[in-house]
Structure 1
Amino acid sequence: MSVSDLTPKFVSPAHRLRDLLAGEGLVQIPGIYDPFSARAAQEMGFQAVALGGGVTVSVGYHVVPDMTMISTRDVIDVARGITRAIDIPLIVDFDDGGGNPLQVRHAVQLAEAAGIAGVMIEDTDFTYPKHTPPKELGKIMQFEDNHHLSREAAVQRIRAAVEARRNPATVIIARTDGALISKEESLIRMRLLADAGADVIKPTHFPFEDAAEAVEACGRPVMMVPIRLGSSTPQELEHARRGGVKLLLEPVPVSYAIYGAVIKTLAELKSAGTVAGDYSETVKFVQETIRYPDWGDLATRYQE
């Protein structure tokens, strides 16, 4: 028996993501914040994770709103640490992919080099701020002012992304915000983006109750996402399952749970001078997730 027969075969994260797309049923994908939350998601049995540009990289790593101020390189810088920590696929939100088709091409190749399995690229014109602040803080940002690329320009972005791949397994996810114009516009763009070679279509703002219509229109696996400060509702989850949606992205809960815990803990420490919580169980989970005992065994072995 050769050494190669004893060595486990490596399956790239991109191929793992392809396997998920080819499998049965709905796959729920949590947005994560950092390498630890990504590893925790893997340990809990999630089959893939996603890194959001707005709710996570903009807010958590640069402390700015989701108004087109971060770049694809900013996202990749965060993603590198995450892909080193997990075996499951990481999908990243690349917003406009950098802008023009040449920038999209370059960004996809940088993403592959960072171990990213799938990239999301949308049909919004980032010459303008993507979102505007809500009329009342604490609510979701406004989308009324979104500027859309022409259909032709949106197609060129996806063509560039598809042609840029060095690893043919890398998954290109084409997002359209066409539903902000009309449902019919969204359906037209879904078909065009699928014809351009996108592997997955993400019709953002599209009604969950009409998910089956989106799946039928594009002939590709469909990813859907709730637009709210929280996860999908039970009703949306059921619509996605019944409609044949393949990927359900949950970008918000983990990052905002982290922000909430930071705010609560710092406020308690500032006001009371002490924090009353007992973190023994949290510490235990952290130690298990970072594989503390395994590292201890290795340290002992190297001293022998």
Structure 2
Amino acid sequence: MLNHEINRAFRARVEAGGALLLPGAANALAARVIEDQGFEAVYLSGAGLTNTYLGMPDLGFVGLSEIAMHTAAIRDATELPIVVDADNGFGNALNVRHAIRTLERAGASAIQLEDQKSPKRCGHFSGKEVVPLDEARMRIRAAVDARQDANTLIVARTDARGTHGYCEALDRAQAFIEEGADITFVEAPETAEELRGIPQRLAGTPQLVNLVVGGKTPILGLDVLDEMGFSLVLYANLTLQSALHGMQTALGQLRSEGRMDEGGPVASFAERQRMVRKDLFDGFEKRYSF
């Protein structure tokens, strides 16, 4: 399927309403697993990419080129819509414009921008700072102007809840809607009451909520968040945290027992080949052989 067709279908799905679970992937293999499990879209997590690609915390260490490279790899591996975390746009409004065009070409269906200063931090870390509202608005205006496909969604995130308070975060989200944002994302609300107030205050624009396992936002069920009015329910790094746990479990057993076979806590060799579509490439090889 062509990317503009994926984007059109994704916009229609978001606008149709009903909460959509959005798991995060840090690489193409995780995206393949997400698609295989029947999810409707995938999120390329900047935090997950930093953790897995560099082995470093989410403190602004990855740039546009790395995010674009991994976006393209995921687009080649799956036909799911990709929501791409573009951090704070990597500079001023002109940098945001370049980032949007680059990520669209790489295969993004939606691009998320936040209002943090550089270097940015994970939304559930302390010590974040946000830029002035006027600067944040210009980032979103530049993003909306830069997209080539009208169905590419612009997701505007504010981290002001942790710096200026809940009401300021809502005011910023409303300002981003005025600049043309398609979806808004108030990061790290801390109570169920705060969660409920976000779609109420910002009614008419789809809302994303980020549920971080171990983070600041209370974990509520999909049905509850749907009833509240959220459109996208993001688990940005669930795959990463589960993979980390799985690696620790398997490697701990290997170290203690000195051996590991398919009876251990690992996927089978056959399952591994299925997930990377080896049969597809076997078919290509046969087709293109003399």
User: TM-score, length-normalised on structure 1?
Assistant: 0.84
Task: Select 1:255's aligned residue among 235, 240, 243.
Answer: 240
| Matched residue, 2:228 | 243
For 2:115 and 2:254, locate their aligned partners in 1 and report how far apart those are by CA, in whole Å: 45
- Runs of 5+ unmatched residues, structure 1: 1-7, 132-139
1:221 matched residue in structure 2: 206
Partner in structure 2 of residue 134 of structure 1: none
Q: Kindly indicate whether residue 100 of structure 2 is the aligned counterpart of residue 100 of structure 1.
A: no
Given that 1:68 and 1:130 are in contact with CA atoms closer than 8 Å, whether structure 2 keeps it comes out as yes
Report the secondary structure of 1:235's partner residue. Answer: coil
- 1:142 to 1:87, Cα distance in 2 relative to 1, 3 A: closer
Gaps of 5+ in 2: none
What's the counterpart of residue 44 of structure 1? 37
Counterpart of 2:139 in structure 1 is: 157
Computed over aligned residues only, the root mean square deviation of the Cα atoms, in angstroms, reads 2.6
CA, structure 1 residues 241+231, in 2 after alignment: closer, same or farther (shift >3 Å)? farther
Once residues 32 and 280 of structure 2 are traced to their aligned partners in structure 1, the CA distance between those partners, rounded to angstroms, is 15
Secondary structure in 2 aligned to 1:124?
Answer: coil
- Cα pair distance change 1:222/1:101, threshold 3 Å: same
User: Which whole-Å CA distance do the structure 2 matches of 1:173 and 1:67 have between them?
Assistant: 20
1:176 aligns with 2:158: yes
- Paired with 1:203 and 1:58, the residues of 2 have a C-alpha distance of 22
Partners of 1:227 and 1:281 in 2: how far apart?
Answer: 26
Counterparts in 2 of 1:82-97, with a 5 A limit?
82-97=74-89
Whether the aligned pair in 1 keeps the contact of 2:4 and 2:149 (CA below 8 Å) is no
C-alpha separation in 2, matches of 1:65 and 1:244: 32
| TM-score when normalising by structure 2 | 0.88
Q: Deviations along 1:75-128, whole A, 9 cap, x unmatched?
A: 11222111101111111111101121011110000001101111110011114x
Q: Is the 8 A contact 2:97 2:146 kept in 1?
A: yes
AA at the equivalent of 1:165: R
User: Structure 1 residue 62 and structure 2 residue 45: aligned?
Assistant: no
CA distance in 2, matches of 1:47, 1:31: 12
Paired position in structure 2 for 1:115: 107
Amino acid aligned to 2:198: A
The percent identity for this pair of structures is 25
Farther off after superposition, 209-218 or 107-116? 209-218
1:123-165 deviation per Cα after TM superposition (whole angstroms, max 9, x unaligned): 11114x525xxxxxxxx9632x211111111101100111111
Aligned to 2:22, what secondary structure does the other structure show?
A: strand
Q: Which amino acid aligns with 1:264?
A: T
SS of the residue 1:31 aligns to? strand
Aligned match for 2:271, one of 285, 288, 292: 285
Count of residue pairs the alignment pairs up: 286
Which residue of 150, 164, 169 corresponds with 1:186?
169
**Structure-1 separation of matches of 2:217 and 2:29:** 23
The structure with the largest alpha-carbon Rg is 1
Pair 1:116–1:264, CA change in 2 (3 A) = same
